[in-house]
Amino acid sequence: MKKYWQLFKTWLGRTLIYRARVVIWFCTDIIQFAVMPFIWLSVYGSRVSIGGYSKTGIITYYAVGAFISTVASSHIASIIRKEINQGSLNKYLVKPVSFLFSECIHKFSFKVVSTLLILILGAGVAVCFPSLWAFPQSPITILLFCLSVLFSLAIAQILQLIIGVSAIWLGEVTALSQVHRILSSVFSGELAPLTFFPLFFQTLAGALPFFYMTYFPIQIFLEKIPFNQIGWYFLGALAWVAGLGGLLFLMWKRALKHYDGSSM
Amino acid sequence: MYRVFIANSFSYEAQYRADTWIKLLTNFLWVGMLLLTIEIVFQFTSGLGGWSKEQVYLMTVFWIMADELFVAFFSPGLSNLSTTISQGDLDVFLTKPVSALFLVSCKLFLMRAFYRFVTQLLILGFLVYQYDFALSWWHALVTGALLIIAVSVDYSRVLIANIFAFWFERIENVNDAIGMISGIGRYPLDIFPRTIKILTFTLVPIAFSAYVPTATLTGKWPWYAIAYAFIFAAFLFTCAVLFWNYAVRRYSSASS
């Protein structure tokens, strides 16, 4: 693990050199969530609740969504595609480190900084506008929320790795990334709480991994999932992590056999 | 020269036909997602910031059209600008006997974005036919001109943001941020607090892609507001070009 710790420190140093990039990604990740509350507050008018969400509830929904997006979202597929297409994967294959794990470390070094930024921003907003937020009543909820964010991070990361590795066969994966981005926006509850969508849509969303990326952690934070059902949801998240992780493992093994080291 | 650029771009996309078709289909999914957002919001209300559902549809279509025109003509070149600067590759452009800014901005034309623009034009025609917006020829003409103004504002905004790469180097992700911020412009800006609304017409000019053309087409904007759009676009374009000229002077050609 020592070599990965060293990699982490190197990447962290690099992240801190290009601070402007960190701030730009940070803003990119939270903008969508900052806009949606304005739209919904305009819709509320004099109403107290819409679809089971009070005004405070909907603001908290998007604020927690912004937190999850900053902490758990991943844009790693484009980096992997570049490494594969330009042939720079070669240098990783002759080193005693796992390429995929190194890429994850790369991402985590960035996440450490962006998580700090969102925590500072969140704390500032919470102190200045305490009435806008609905905080969980129980500390157990906070713990479960943190666990669900870890699952969210794992699923987001594995999906990005799968898309990135696909570049070995497809060459160009921008379109695939776009499809992933669109499906994720709709089915993870980024656009709006899934209860605002038609019933068949909610059922479909519940059967997809995107559900566990944003909607599930937010529901835990808002204490909208009955305590006795949370375990089942975590099992669902674990099944997706295991399933997608297995798929990635198989893809990577085949990809290494297929990869010829020449760049495009 | 521009004809050669377009011919090259067409031949480039012809080599990757499958990718072009996949991206076109993906675009339909994306447009579907935008329209779905409107449907979800309007199931709880009949108006958003004083705009009806049909008008918000119109706004979204205008926003996409302005974006596609910008992407077709300028985005492929401009989005690589910060990488070109940080890798020291700008020399190639500076040593040619043509304006470096013209080469950087227009060397690539994205054909598929133009196809998408045509698709949006058809959707716009359908919307105008389907809903009674009580349009006049005068408003339609001015709206067409405002669409070009919107592309000009988009161009100036993206150019200014990318020029910062002369100082901050690796900031190619600024284009992703601009894309996200620009996305705010497809919503009725009246839902935002007054300060944010003023910012969208000045420092963060995202109101010109959708709000201004739609407000003009539906007769919500007076003549002086339309005049402001033209003057502001000219002002911003001048600022962008002056900023480029200033920044190029400090280019050292050393890569990072």
pLDDT band at A2 (very low <50, low <70, confident <90, very high): confident
Chain A residues with CB-CB distance to B191 below 8 A: 38-39, 41-42
In tens, the pLDDT along A31-65 reads: 888 899 999 999 988 788 998 899 999 999 999 99
Helices A139-165 & A76-85 angle (0-180, nearest 10): 20
In tens, the pLDDT along A165-202 reads: 998 888 778 888 989 999 999 999 999 999 999 999 99
| Domain count within chain B | 1
Tell me, what's the pLDDT at A201?
Answer: 92
Tell me, what's the pLDDT at B255?
Answer: 57
Decide if B176 is inside a domain.
Answer: yes
Average per-residue pLDDT for chain A? 90
Q: Looking at residues A202-212, what average pLDDT do you find?
A: 95
pLDDT band at B182 (very low <50, low <70, confident <90, very high): very high
pLDDT band at B254 (very low <50, low <70, confident <90, very high): low
A93 pLDDT more than 90 = no
* Most A-contacting residue of B158, B168, B182, B190 (CB-CB within 10 A), to test interface: B168
B51 pLDDT more than 70 = yes
B48: left (phi over 0), alpha (psi -120 to 50) or beta: beta
Q: Looking at residues B26-49, what average pLDDT do you find?
A: 90
A150 pLDDT more than 90 = yes
Tell me, what's the pLDDT at A261?
Answer: 72
Q: Which of residues 101-130 of A touch B (CB under 8 A)?
A: none
Contact A161, A249 (CB under 8 A): no
Which tokens sit at B85?
């600067």
Q: Looking at residues A68-85, what average pLDDT do you find?
A: 88
In tens, the pLDDT along B183-229 reads: 999 999 999 999 999 999 999 999 999 999 999 988 888 889 999 99
* Most B-contacting residue of A11, A32, A42 (CB-CB within 10 A), to test interface: A42
pLDDT band at A89 (very low <50, low <70, confident <90, very high): confident
Contact A112, A13 (CB under 8 A): no
Range in A91-95, A197-201, B103-107, B130-134 with the lowest mean pLDDT:
B130-134
Q: Looking at residues A103-125, what average pLDDT do you find?
A: 90
Contact B186, B57 (CB under 8 A): no
pTM above 0.90, yes or no: no
Tell me, what's the pLDDT at A218?
Answer: 97
Q: How far apart are the first and last CA of chain B?
A: 32
Decide if B32 is inside a domain.
Answer: yes
Q: Looking at residues A155-166, what average pLDDT do you find?
A: 94
Decide if B255 is inside a domain.
Answer: no
CB atoms < 10 A from the CB of B15, how many? 8
Contact B72, B117 (CB under 8 A): yes
Average per-residue pLDDT for chain B? 88
Range in A131-135, A183-187, A218-222 with the lowest mean pLDDT:
A131-135
Q: Looking at residues B20-47, what average pLDDT do you find?
A: 88
Chain A residues with CB-CB distance to B19 below 8 A: 172, 174-175
> CA A195 to CA A219: how far, in whole Å?
11
Tell me, what's the pLDDT at A263?
Answer: 61
Q: Tell me, yes or no, if A228 comes closer than 8 A to chain B by beta carbon.
A: no
Decide if B9 is inside a domain.
Answer: yes
In tens, the pLDDT along B162-180 reads: 999 888 877 778 888 899 8
* Closest-approach residue (CA) in chain A for B174: A24
Tell me, what's the pLDDT at A237?
Answer: 97
List the domain range (segments joined by +) for residue B102: 2-249
* ipTM score assigned to the predicted complex: 0.85
Long-range contacts formed by A166-169: CB under 8 A, 24+ apart: A166/A251, A167/A80, A167/A81, A167/A84, A167/A85, A168/A84, A168/A255, A168/A258, A168/A259, A169/A255, A169/A258
Q: Which of residues 127-186 of B touch A (CB under 8 A)?
A: 164, 168-171, 173-174, 176-177, 180-181, 183-184
